[in-house]
Chain A
Amino acid sequence: MSEALIMTGRAIRISRRNVDALITAMALPVMLLLVFVYFFGGAIKTDTESYVMYVVPGVLLLCAGFGSSNTAIAVTEDLKGGIIDRFRSLDISGTQILTGHVIASVARNLIATTLVLALAFAIGFRPSATPAGWLAATAVLLAFILALSWLSAAVGLLAKSPEAAGGFTFFVSFLPYPSSAFVQTSDMPTWLQPFAENQPVTRVIDSLRGLLLNQPVGWTPWVALAWCAAILAASAGVSGALFRKRTA
């Protein structure tokens, strides 16, 4: 346990100094929020009073995508050098090393999320969530970030180079588009609707939107949490095996 803490301190120090990646991970979601609200917002019809009320959860998820994909790059950087061997020769397990990266990723994401939320307030986002609603929304978002960070760590173990790991960014930042993030799924082509309505990103976004706007959400947050738990369990499990394979 204390090893995982030391690994976390390390990963946080490293990401703090990786200024370029940090600025990108913070600035991109902020820019996207502005772009969606002011450029596209007027042309997209939603059942909320204003587009900013609709789009914030989607931007939070995009932000989570960018933030956690840096985990993949950090993991490949580790594998490229000899430091993993040194850690292993100090009897530090793969799980501990990866946990450090994942927690650093969650920390980065929370900062970016706060930034986006603050800006959203400034431009008219007025959530009406109950305290329990806020708590539940935070839990769902945290679970999503955690799951995505572990998935990203697994991708980092699969990728042969940091450049290849960077490709993961593209994939995760694409997933929110065919979802309820920016456009209501009922306005999408019929062949796309089944996917758009049922993919995990939509579940997470619908939960966040419902909880933050204090609308009835039914079972959706539980479905979202189940998705996150499944992604997390699969990624963490696969990571363990991949780590042993890559470092044997």
Chain B
Amino acid sequence: MPPTRAPAAIEATALTKTYGTGDRAVPVLRGIDLHVPHGTVFALLGPNGAGKTTAVRILTTLTEPDAGTARVAGHDIRTGQREVRRAISLTGQFAAVDETQTGAENLRMMARLAGLPRAGARTRAAELLARFGLTEAGDRLVRTYSGGMRRRVDLAAGLVGDPEVIFLDEPTTGLDPRSRQEMWQVVRDLTAEGTTVFLTTQYLEEADQLADRVAVLHEGVIVAEGSAATLKAQVGGHRLDATFTTREAYLHLSPRATHHSPETLTLGFPTDGTAGGVRELLDALDPDRTRLSAFALRTATLDDVFLTLTGPSRPKGLTHV
């Protein structure tokens, strides 16, 4: 018997999706491949409108792709829709719980829908409320919850059926920093139990904090993929912030930069951080040695990766000369 390789939790090949037809057709995904091993956290990173939500909707069988194939938890998203749905949970950008039911009622309802008997649903709901620190709030209507509590009860609702793969579509968008930290902790706990997590985010820090692998999605194409460390290395690993003497010089070099601070006439450029590399970059930026007044070297953040890969490198509202 040939050795059977454990299939990945998510495997997608050449997924495409276009909304609208004819002149108004908007390609949202233009052939993306994904490979997420079991028990890992995968982050799909991209700005608004990059196609992140569409990718999630396709993988969770809510939207059909125009072309391409995908398997989630070992089942084909087209032919094994039912099996895929049983194996996953989805927590979207909008809280998918009823505002006019209590937290406990929402969880009990979801548990019943997931197939648990009445008593089992009650126990499961109590467990989840305790786990997400919502026991006291459990008997209050969800509409009285704070944003962070709402997101937690929403995530809890997704976990009633012990899913193998959890999809989190922008789990912390709109949350205050404290709730965001709490949410991150919840995701870390999930992965400690061996659950596979697929999350989308526009926050680079979030991907950096949580994900084993990151893919950068831009205009429907994956423009980079790897660990957060690899991606940072890909753009040189460092950033040189150069402050210019005149606005003209600033505007002239603005298109090449990944960071812009017009107030201080400072631009950031990717570099490998070596003496030779920095010298070369400075020469390229300021061949006559008149434009630059100061510079500083920083370690690249995922933000730099992101901006280098996705552009546009000019900030909005700035016309360049």
Chain A contact residues, CB within 8 Å of chain B:
3, 6, 9-10, 13-14, 17-18, 81-83, 85-92, 247-248
Contact = CB atoms under 8 A, between A and B. Distances in A.
B88 A81 contact: no
B100 A17 contact: yes
A6 B95 contact: no
Nearest to A10: B109
B149 interface: no
A86 B96 contact: yes
Given A13-B105, A17-B100, A248-B63, A89 B113 contact: no
B195 interface: no
Contact of A81 (B82, B90, B95, B161): B95
Contact of A3 (B92, B94, B113): B113
24 contacts: A3-B113, A6-B112, A9-B109, A10-B98, A13-B105, A14-B98, A14-B101, A81-B96, A82-B93, A82-B94, A83-B96, A83-B98, A85-B60, A85-B90, A85-B92, A86-B90, A86-B157, A86-B158, A89-B61, A89-B85, A89-B89, A89-B90, A91-B82, A247-B62
B73 interface: no
A245 to B, nearest CB: 12
Given A86-B158, A89-B89, A91-B85, A18 B100 contact: yes
Contact of B113 (A14, A85, A92, A248): A92
Nearest to B63: A248
A9 B101 CA distance: 11
A88 B90 CA distance: 10
A107 to B, nearest CB: 16
A9 B93 CA distance: 26
A85 B100 contact: no
Given A89-B60, A92-B113, A248-B63, A14 B100 contact: yes
Contact of A13 (B62, B88, B101, B158): B101
Interface string B254-272: 0000000000000000000
Q: Output the residue of B62, B96, B113, B141 with the most chain A CB within 10 A.
A: B113
A103 B63 CA distance: 29
A89 B87 CA distance: 10
A198 B160 CA distance: 53
Given A6-B109, A85-B92, 5 more contacts: A9-B109, A10-B98, A13-B101, A85-B90, A89-B61
B100 A89 contact: no
Given A13-B101, A13-B105, A87 B95 contact: no
Interface in B37-85: 57, 60-64, 82, 85
B215 to A, nearest CB: 22
Q: Which 10 A-B pairs have the closest CB atoms?
A: A82-B96, A82-B94, A86-B96, A82-B92, A17-B100, A83-B96, A91-B85, A89-B90, A14-B100, A90-B113
Contacts of A91: 82, 85-86
Contacts of A88: 62, 85
B110 interface: yes
Interface in B84-129: 85-86, 88-90, 92-101, 105, 109-110, 112-114
A227 B57 CA distance: 40
Interface in B228-287: none
B96 A85 contact: yes
